Chains A and B, each alone.
Chain A
Amino acid sequence: MLNKLKHHSRVTTRREFFAHAGSGLAAMALADLLAQDAFAQRVDPLAAKKPHVTPKAKNVIFCFMEGGPSHVDLFDPKPELAKYAGQPVPPSMRPEKFITGFGTHRNGLMPTKHTFKQYGQSGLWFSDWLPHMAQLADDWAMVRSCQSDAVNHVGGVCQMNTGDILAGRPSLGAWATYGLGSANRNLPTFVVMQDDKEILGGVQNYSAGFLPAVYQGSLFRKGDTPILNLKPPDGTTDEQQRSKLEYLKQLNDRFSLGKDEDFELDARTRSYELAYQMQSAAPEAVDLSKETEATKKLYGIDEPETAAYGNLCLLARRLVERGVRFVEIYSGSGSRWDAHSDLEKNHTQNCRSADKPVAGLLADLKARGMLQDTLVVWGGEFGRTPFFQGTFDEKAGRDHNQWGFTMLMAGGGVKGGQAIGATDELGLKAIEEPHHIHDLHASILYLMGLDHLKTTYMRLGRAERPTVAGGHLITKLWA
């Protein structure tokens, strides 16, 4: 049977892999790949796969604040900034390669204008810009020592999604889908939504990179047809379409006669059934009409300032309810958090639009008993500099800061109410327990049940993995 199956498949055999695998790590990586059964992978690439460790999170909702929220004004209070106000960063505190996107690194330091307070049992710090999220302080874990390699947005957003600042690698959601398979064939397994303009760098942020295209993220469009080509041509009746598909199946079955060994032909015939189901499942998933007014209110859908992101948060909950593994929702898509000038106005608007919806999402997940296996991640591609940009007055902004910034996580096995790592006294550079984006990725995958070192894909003789060549687990998140 296995032999029959292999015939006509361009998959290489176990034997052949091992014959050339050499020794050491590569061989181990190959063994892992093969454990996932290359043949099943090919015939049914979305079949559910066995996780490496017991999963704590079934799903991930990544709330991506695009443009870079200012950690020193939101989560990481730095009273010392008042002391240095107006002075440049002392040479001893400068990071290596001190380049900023806008050449502002010689500018003076600027204290926050916002009030920080401690919340909950844990006493986690939040500024007055995020009153709703602050109320759930004991659910959030903050990693205050995150680091990226990116000077600018395209590289930054790309790295937060794919691990590399240059486009071309698979997105984290694609790796998760590759590693775990699908839990609902009638919907895509990795969904991306945006509340405003297009994400900088576009499709490369949710692409499958060098993985097969079946693992790429689907950008859901606004309205009732979230997927490309989801709706039959105007006026097509269900009866008409079903009859067409039945005829197609007859044609395909006839072509398959005497080709029983060719599983790919069968897979293609079957994929029409999936596509047909998707036509009704996807619009149902994005139809908010069955949600109660109370629920909509919880997400802020009743208020104009919070309606856009509230919608995405509620859609995200509906999607994970239906088995979508990885949902990424962009707040301020198109880099709206990018406060180079007038930080005050920028963050007031952006915090207003995302704070209540995210808090509503967490509360709703909790009330439905879903938070325990849904990991919610909150953050941007980097933070912002403690020194000003533009004019040093009420209209001042802040530049990009890749040397130290804060990311938040809740649910999905995360121990809330803790802050991990720390930046220096300016909030410029992570100095305690610095965590590169690769560490975040490794940890998110771990919570989903995947060992990032074993989640590999052979490409041109290299066992590629989601964390490229890095990645350390942030064990404090769950330990």
Chain B
Amino acid sequence: MRRLYLFSALCLTAIGVTSAQTREFTDAQKSFWSFQPVKKPAVPGVKNKDWTKNPIDAFVMAKLEEKQIEPNKPADKRTLLRRATLDMTGLPPTDKEVDAFLADNSPNAFEKVVDRLLASPAYGERWGRHWLDVARYADSDGFKADATRPNIWRYRDYVIQAFNEDKPYNRFIREQIAGDELYPGDHDAMVAMGFNRHWIDETNAAGLLTRRQETLDEITTATGSAFLGVTIGCARCHDHKYDPIPQRDYYRLQAFFANTSYGDGALPVKDRVERQKYETQKALWEEKTKDTRAEMATMLEPLRAQRIKGGISTFEDEVVEAILMDPAKRNPFQQMMFHTASSRITFDEEPDARTLRSLKGDAATHYGELKKKLAEFDSIRPAAPPEGQFMIDISTTAPPTHVLGRGDIMNKGEEVQPGFLSILTAADAKITAPAGLNSTGRRTALAEWLTDPKNPLVARVMVNRMWHYHFGRGIVASPGDFGRMGMRPTHPELLDYLASTFVENGWSFKKLHKQILLSNTYQVSSDNQAKAAEADPDNKLMWHYNRRRIEAEAIRDSMLYVSGFLNPEMGGPGVMPPVPPGTLSDLSATAVAGGWKADTDAAKQNRRSVYIFVRRNLLYPMMHEFDTANTFEVWHQRKNTVTPSQSLDLMNNETILNWAQALAGRVLSDGRVASESLEQVDRAFRLVYGRRPAAEEQKVSAAFLGKQIPIMASRLANGKAKPAMPTQIPAGMEPARAAALVDLCHMLLASNEFLYIN
């Protein structure tokens, strides 16, 4: 019932449980474009052969010639370098990189740049973040408590590393869907299982049946959306209104996950020798402390009973029954309920402090003594291996999955087995339980199907996502909907060409990027052209490059970068840079769960934005202002808004002013420019825009400094709050002049040229 409303926007017609028979699809449904096999098309012949640098261009030019549109001239080298650098790394090029590229007249000068960018660790941070949008990544649960997920950051690092290593997409999928079953004992594959650990969760929900079903619904919808680009969530309550997805298919897909739950805990130790050492040491410690721990456990027995009693009060009757019954007699469904409830009714070694307070008097004293005794063995206790947060099967037998009438857990219909989209594969999945594992093998079957080169959706959806990020618009302009209500591909042959070469090239992202970047299509200017605009105002045929604002992360990172502050350290738990005064009143009960404890260490504050802690109920304000991903669902496309609050942020946020101070300091650190305003402006432009100012810009900049200097002088003379000064000032420089330069740098950072990829 709870989730019903969210997904029932299409509940406009018949509602009810679909009949058990496989649905007949119409010819129109069967022949719908995205369900057809990918066929590698022949590269079309074109008249303008000089323009076509690679097959991508031939597909684009063929369409342009049909409409008699001339593509734009190539962007100038400086613009192209800036475009590619922002696109591939989320950072602007340095002035040295600009100079080097301008000076390189070799025919493969740009190819060298592309190779350099692909090899940069910043590439993974940029493109990994794109995938994190799809994975609905967050460091917290959501809901009221919004508790921290202390180890989920390893998934973020895994994604960044996967892009940097050019992990093949098929392997990337297999690890995220069934890494535990396919690569048992593999540290990274287990971390990858964090993909479907990102559901929003109400850990203290009153009803457990509903909470469990909501989790399954979230996973089903996200999996369909992320990998298949279909809006399968629409088939939760009834057959999909527009696409050939019977309600039954929704539950068939859900059945792959029927036996999954959170499996947070120790990760496989990467190194075999290390693992061996750890196991030996742990056994030793356990042996030495056996009696003490047993005695402590006995003392805690009554507390365990108390915790169960307190935990179950709001649960449904059948959940309570499952919890209280003989564990050996639990069926898979009852096991699942027990597992789902476990964090609220049991504890591992020791309960929380509140429960522990029930030990009183002598018992409390004695327990304290035992704890001390146990601590004596700390020296031989091995450090716990790193923990992760991930999803696993909890046993070898899954509870049954039913089609739910109107998506309501109380309204069980036909039982279904794991299966795929029946328009593509009608038969149920063949499941083989993996030998020696406590798992059903269901997700292995799903992973195999998703990564089968014959799957018509998976490669198409992914290459289209990549195209979307490169160009600001996908070949299919709705990257999250390849169904009837989505957009049709503007270049279906190109899409298929890219999808098939992607698979041929071992599902390599880096090869795909290179193919795209080296095309002329990528390199044309973003200028307007009256005639072309008349014929193709939306630029569907790609006669120009799409100018667009860079994303929230790229804005912040670029500012940090040109100011010289950016800390390139990679990985680790999320950081919390300070937030503007007043922000914390946006926090709800999250304060209970850790809230936002700003890092005081400046180096930590200046990490790349992908490492900023993602608290669902309090997104870092600058990210939020500039349309970062919504963490509550698969986020296919960033929005691109223009708001006064963004302007207020750029004008008044003290943090950005601090970066401007550092930028001004960087300008002045170059001894050659110390004394000359003109030279200072010149260097500031080079650092921020990667180019020198035009004469007109020099003029307005000089005039601006001329206006600011007396204002600053008077503020320095009598103001209580002194103006912001550059982080370094050469000896003898007039302070008012130095302060004026901060204002200039501040406005360069806020300007459109800095904020747009052109």
Contacts and interface: CB of A to CB of B under 8 A. Distances in A.
Contacts of A19: 488
B473 interface: yes
B747 interface: yes
B652 A232 contact: yes
B719 to A, nearest CB: 5
Of A10, A153, A463, the most chain B CB neighbours within 10 A belong to A10
Interface stretch (A48-56, A164-172, A404-412): A164-172
Nearest to B586: A203
Nearest to B751: A251
Interface string A279-312: 1000000000000000000000000000000000
A199 B647 contact: no
B703 to A, nearest CB: 8
A213 B200 contact: no
Given A154-B143, A268-B642, A229 B484 contact: no
A243 B708 contact: yes
A275 B9 contact: no
Contacts of B546: 8, 10
A255 B484 contact: no
Of A10, A16, A102, A251, the most chain B CB neighbours within 10 A belong to A251
A265 B549 CA distance: 9
Nearest to A30: B485
Interface stretch (A114-122, A378-386, A464-472): A464-472
B26 to A, nearest CB: 14
Interface stretch (A73-81, A220-228, A341-349, A365-373): A220-228
A278 to B, nearest CB: 6
Nearest to B229: A460
A4 interface: yes
A278 B643 CA distance: 12
A164 B6 contact: yes
Of B12, B643, B646, B753, the most chain A CB neighbours within 10 A belong to B643
A240 B743 contact: yes
A97 B747 contact: no
B528 A240 contact: no
B386 interface: no
Contact of A166 (B3, B410, B585, B657): B3
Contacts of B242: 22, 26, 461
B644 interface: yes
B752 A252 contact: yes
B12 A210 contact: no
A58 B648 CA distance: 28
Contacts of A256: 752
A267 interface: yes
B640 to A, nearest CB: 7
A230 to B, nearest CB: 6
A40 interface: no
A90 interface: no
Contacts of A275: 644-645, 647-648, 651
Interface stretch (B339-347, B369-377, B587-595): B587-595
A8 B547 contact: yes
Interface majority SS (helix, strand, loop, mixed), chain B: loop
B711 A243 contact: yes
A12 B487 contact: yes
A149 B533 contact: no
Contacts of B539: 7-8
Of A213, A219, A241, A279, the most chain B CB neighbours within 10 A belong to A213
Contacts, number: 308
B202 interface: yes
Interface in A62-91: none
A250 interface: yes
Contacts of A194: 585
Contacts of B202: 154-155
A461 B708 CA distance: 52
Nearest to B225: A460
A269 B746 CA distance: 15
Interface in A417-465: 438, 460-465
B588 A201 contact: yes
A201 B143 contact: yes
Contacts of B548: 10
B1 interface: yes
Nearest to A102: B314
A178 to B, nearest CB: 12
Nearest to B547: A8
Interface stretch (B268-276, B459-467, B475-483, B671-679): B475-483
Interface stretch (B163-171, B600-608, B619-627): B619-627
Contact of A462 (B1, B485, B707, B722): B485
B111 interface: no
B585 A7 contact: no
Contacts of A47: none
A50 B275 CA distance: 68
Given A225-B582, A462-B234, A269 B528 contact: no
Contacts of B583: 228
Contacts of B589: 198, 200
B697 A210 contact: no
Given A20-B484, A168-B632, A230-B652, A465 B9 contact: yes
Given A4-B533, A10-B473, A45 B641 contact: yes
A209 B723 CA distance: 39
A365 to B, nearest CB: 27
Contacts of B580: 228-229
Contact of B649 (A4, A167, A229): A229
Contact of B533 (A3, A204, A464): A3
B214 interface: yes
Nearest to B12: A25
Interface string A190-214: 0000100011111110000110111
A478 interface: no
A458 to B, nearest CB: 8
Interface in B613-634: 616-619, 621, 624-625, 627, 630, 632-633
A9 B300 CA distance: 65
B704 A243 contact: yes
A222 B652 CA distance: 19
A234 interface: yes
Of B582, B586, B639, the most chain A CB neighbours within 10 A belong to B582
B641 A463 contact: no
B588 to A, nearest CB: 3
B331 interface: no
Of B234, B242, B590, B625, the most chain A CB neighbours within 10 A belong to B242
B235 interface: no
A241 B715 contact: no
28 contacts: A10-B546, A20-B488, A26-B242, A99-B316, A102-B314, A155-B2, A200-B144, A201-B588, A203-B588, A209-B630, A210-B630, A212-B641, A213-B639, A228-B582, A228-B649, A229-B580, A243-B708, A248-B750, A251-B697, A251-B753, A261-B533, A268-B549, A274-B644, A460-B231, A461-B478, A461-B486, A468-B8, A470-B5
Interface of B: 1-3, 5-6, 8-12, 142-144, 146, 200, 202, 205-207, 214, 225, 231, 234, 242, 313-314, 316, 410, 472-473, 477-478, 480-481, 483-488, 526-528, 533-534, 537-539, 546-549, 580, 582-583, 585-591, 616-619, 621, 624-625, 627, 630, 632-633, 636, 639-649, 651-654, 657, 694, 696-697, 700-701, 704, 707-708, 711-712, 715, 719-724, 743-744, 746-748, 750-753, 755-756
Interface of A: 2-4, 6-13, 16, 19-20, 22, 25-26, 45, 97, 99-103, 149, 151-155, 163-169, 185, 194, 198-204, 209-210, 212-214, 218-219, 221-222, 225, 227-235, 237, 239-241, 243-248, 250-252, 254-256, 258-262, 264-265, 267-269, 271-272, 274-276, 278-279, 438, 460-465, 468-470
Given A4-B528, A233-B724, 17 more contacts: A4-B537, A6-B533, A101-B206, A102-B313, A152-B144, A164-B5, A200-B588, A212-B627, A213-B627, A240-B708, A244-B708, A245-B651, A258-B527, A268-B642, A271-B644, A275-B645, A460-B480
